[in-house]
Structure 1
Amino acid sequence: MSSSVRSTRSARAVLGASVLALTLLGTSACGPDNSSADTAAAAGAPALGLPANLDDLKKWKFEDWEKWAKDYALPAATKGFWTLEKLLQAKPNEPIEPPAPQPAGTQAPAQPSAPGPSTPAAGSKPPAGQPTQPGHPTTPAAATTPAAPKPSNTQQPASQAPAPPKQPAQQPSQAPAQPTQAPAQPSQPAQPPAQPGQPPAQPADNGNDPLPKTVNAQPLQHPYTKLAVHGKLFADEPGAGAAGGGLGRSQCSATVVADPAHPGKSNLVWTAGHCVHQGKGGSFYSNISFIPAFNSNAAMSGGKQADESQYAPFGIWGATQAVTSPQWKAEGGKTGDAATHYDFAVIRVKPADGAKSLEETVGGAVPVWFNAPRDQLSVTEYGYPAAPPFDGMELNRCESGKPGRLSYEPTRPPMLVIGCTMTGGSSGGGWLAVKDGKPALVSNVSVGKHTGDPMYQAGPYLDDVAAGAYDFLSKKG
């Protein structure tokens, strides 16, 4: 079966899927109190009490996460805070940029771990496993001349595939036409298992596959009745908000996920870590709010104005809890590096008093598939790209097929990478794959390259660390 057919079947399964229950396996391990102070200090985050190695972190129990995640409780946004004016002020939260390509004959710079871009010293050497090209060691020659995606605000007949997005008038130029399918990725030799007490064996290729071919994002047909698990996430960056004239307001994408501790009544939402937390040296954003099925009926399409009941058909849900990975909080920044391997977050939203849960309100939630076999995945990405040539008003998808591997640090699980033309605002958008005939979330948008050829996005591989954070927040509700 071709990857195109698999992708199509995956998309159809997503549209009509029911909710799966998710069972997490408990593990035992040394928690934050057993980590070495010297090791934590060397990692640049002594206050977080990180364990000495990744294997210990993967074995954290609920009590360990609770000791560490002391700031998971968030002040909820005031009811009515997100007015239409503020929503329109929110700038697209860009997927993290891969490292800039280096001129021939020069060495790639070391990656910064602090938030915000920095200028590396000339001639500095890349860390072990760092890609030598933008986010990757090798870039295949372009087979075709791609065309940039263009947003479309017109409805599509149900029997027809969505038309390619239209380019806004303000865009002066167009990129060449993209192939619509990601190539099959070459299989990699199995690595010998790590010995107890030893770090995992590093892949011979540093965990990188050839970059995928570009896949055009396609707008979904209105209304988004069967896709209401997808939505937009808004937040205020610390120190900005009203004082910054709205310049600190940002928008991302997110997905309603199942809650194992509250089956059928989930209030959990999955997104990227950089959509809710600044990373190294920073803190959680404020006024984090989720709007499922944003603009489902096209009330805001084409520059139109609308009231809240039209662009937020299921309401605006304020977050009261959030957790991301220790790696993102200790190391996260603005350029693709080791921290992006764990750039994910789970938030809990609060229903109105006496109201139904988020899952009951939107009609479903998707389970999260941890440690998913890479060779069984055919990914469809969903999101609300808001940077040009998109305007953030349309839910789009990329039927990208089998993901490849992308790695900035070979001792960590390689990220998943797919071809996709979505831009800023798609950060945090859910990547779905079919498990037992039904959709499950396997990653979210973290890294993105939106110019040239190929255009691609990468997301974290959700392993036991992600499962631990998810299990913690599920039980805290």
Structure 2
Amino acid sequence: MSFVSRSRVALAATVFGILGGIPPASAEPSADPADNANSPALAVARDEARILAYWTPERMASALPAEVPMTSGKAPISLKPIAPENSQRQEEGVEPRGGVSTLADVHSMSGRVFYTDDQGRNRSCSGSTVNSNGKRLVFTAGHCVHGGGSGRGWFSNWVFVPAYHQGSPHGTWTASGLWSKNGWINNADRAFDVGAAVMNLRNGTRIVDAVGGQGIKWGAAYGAYIFQFGYPADPPYNGSALHNCEGTTWNEGGFPTITCGMTGGASGGPWLESYGQNFWAYLYSVNSWMFWDPDPTRVYKWQGPYFSYDTAGSLYDSLKDL
């Protein structure tokens, strides 16, 4: 089975919280591409029912795949100092509360993302839960949370459906806020095409407690053997099932690259390192950019942003306690 997902990672740090504890967005966005940025509050309590009602099975089935990133990675290197202990780090994943169940595996930790983009179109991406102190994080591509570049904006009606297969045994989860990197938000630079959502509770339960969460690592070497997952929705796929590719990554212009035939809609899906050694694995990158010949139904490789502290690490640290 093969999956490819295109995701642009902009670390937009918006704290939306019906639970509190999320800092307000700054008035003046930073020019440093490695800084985080955030969206306005999304699903506060009064909006949650409306968003859940909006995503009917028919709307989910007709959602377009995510818009493809069009700009290569050329952002200036951040001058922000990085503590040595943060330059290369890994955080472990976790099983769902209560241990392994028959419904909890890579399928429950992966899911399909649905949203309305900043131009009013319903679209889909992929994503995965990531363990943290707050147990509420979903990581995806930056282009799955924000349009990227001048004149573009944050997305709305954002939901995550774990183990999607024309519905889910785990239900639909709404986001309280979206985050990405300024490099994506300001410049649509796919070197920073990383995004994350802080999810609302569902029936009083945090999402990672319900479905488990992957670990995450950054500063790792190229040439890792990874499993790549996503929900491709362009032909010959239809977005109804989780697919995967596997293989050894290589460095192509600074981007981890892998052979894979997944099509649009896989954007934001996880690249998992050490998959199969534990109940969970480590998020190594996300689907960001695909290559095809001669048309988008004939994809032959994918790239993702390199997970450094400037990209995935600082984003994770900003959100881990929310």
Length-normalised TM-score, structure 2: 0.74
SS in 2 for 1:368: strand
Contact between 1:290 and 1:316, CA under 8 Å: does it hold in 2?
yes
Instruction: Write the letter of the residue equivalent to 1:277.
Output: H
Instruction: Write the letter of the residue equivalent to 1:81.
Output: Y
1:277 to 146, 160, 168: 146
- 2:233 maps to what in 1? 386
- 2:173 maps to what in 1? 317
- 2:215 maps to what in 1? 367
Once the two structures are superposed, the pairs formed by residues 450-469 of structure 1 within 5 Å of their partners are 450-452=292-294, 455-465=300-310, 466-469=312-315
Q: Distance in 2 between matches of 1:86 and 1:341?
A: 31
- 2:185 maps to what in 1? 329
Instruction: Write the letter of the residue equivalent to 1:351.
Output: L
Contact between 1:279 and 1:331, CA under 8 Å: does it hold in 2?
yes
1:85 to 58, 61, 69: 58
If you compute each CA radius of gyration, which structure gives the higher value, 1 or 2?
A: 1
Offset at residue 312 of structure 1 (A) = 1.8
Instruction: Write the letter of the residue equivalent to 2:303.
Output: A
1:73 to 23, 41, 44: 41
CA distances 1:336-381 after superposition (whole Å, capped 9, x unpaired): xxx111101011111135x22111211x111111111224x10110
Offset at residue 417 of structure 1 (A) = 0.6
CA distances 1:189-226 after superposition (whole Å, capped 9, x unpaired): xxxxx9x99xxxxxxxxxxxxxxxxxxxxxxxxx9642
- 1:292 maps to what in 2? 162
CA distances 1:371-416 after superposition (whole Å, capped 9, x unpaired): 11224x10110011000011111110001x2211122xxxxxx111
- 1:429 maps to what in 2? 269
Q: Distance in 1 between matches of 2:250 and 2:103?
A: 29
Note the aligned Cα RMSD (angstroms). Answer: 3.1
Instruction: Write the letter of the residue equivalent to 1:423.
Output: T
Identity of aligned residues (%): 27
Q: 1 or 2, which has the higher strand percentage?
A: 2
SS in 1 for 2:262: coil
SS in 1 for 2:271: strand
Taking a change above 3 Å as real, the CA distance of residues 224 and 426 of structure 1, as seen in their structure-2 partners, is farther
Q: Which has the higher contact order (CA 8 A, sep 6+)?
A: 2
Once the two structures are superposed, the pairs formed by residues 98-109 of structure 1 within 5 Å of their partners are none
Instruction: Write the letter of the residue equivalent to 2:214.
Output: V
Q: Does 1:48 align with 2:16?
A: no
Q: Distance in 2 between matches of 1:312 and 1:70?
A: 28
Offset at residue 238 of structure 1 (A) = 2.1
Q: Distance in 2 between matches of 1:347 and 1:446?
A: 17
Offset at residue 239 of structure 1 (A) = 4.0
Offset at residue 86 of structure 1 (A) = 1.3
Instruction: Write the letter of the residue equivalent to 1:48.
Output: P
Question: For structure 2, which runs of at least 5 residues remain unmatched after alignment?
Answer: 1-25, 81-101
Q: Distance in 2 between matches of 1:112 and 1:394?
A: 29
Q: Distance in 2 between matches of 1:112 and 1:268?
A: 27
Question: For structure 1, which runs of at least 5 residues remain unmatched after alignment?
Answer: 1-32, 34-45, 98-110, 114-126, 129-193, 198-222, 241-247, 301-310, 333-338, 408-413
Instruction: Write the letter of the residue equivalent to 2:301.
Output: Y
Instruction: Write the letter of the residue equivalent to 2:257.
Output: V
Taking a change above 3 Å as real, the CA distance of residues 373 and 312 of structure 1, as seen in their structure-2 partners, is same
Instruction: Write the letter of the residue equivalent to 1:327.
Output: G
- 2:245 maps to what in 1? 398
Taking a change above 3 Å as real, the CA distance of residues 417 and 224 of structure 1, as seen in their structure-2 partners, is farther
Once the two structures are superposed, the pairs formed by residues 117-266 of structure 1 within 5 Å of their partners are 225-227=104-106, 228-240=108-120, 248-259=121-132, 261-262=133-134, 266=135
Q: Distance in 2 between matches of 1:421 and 1:436?
A: 22
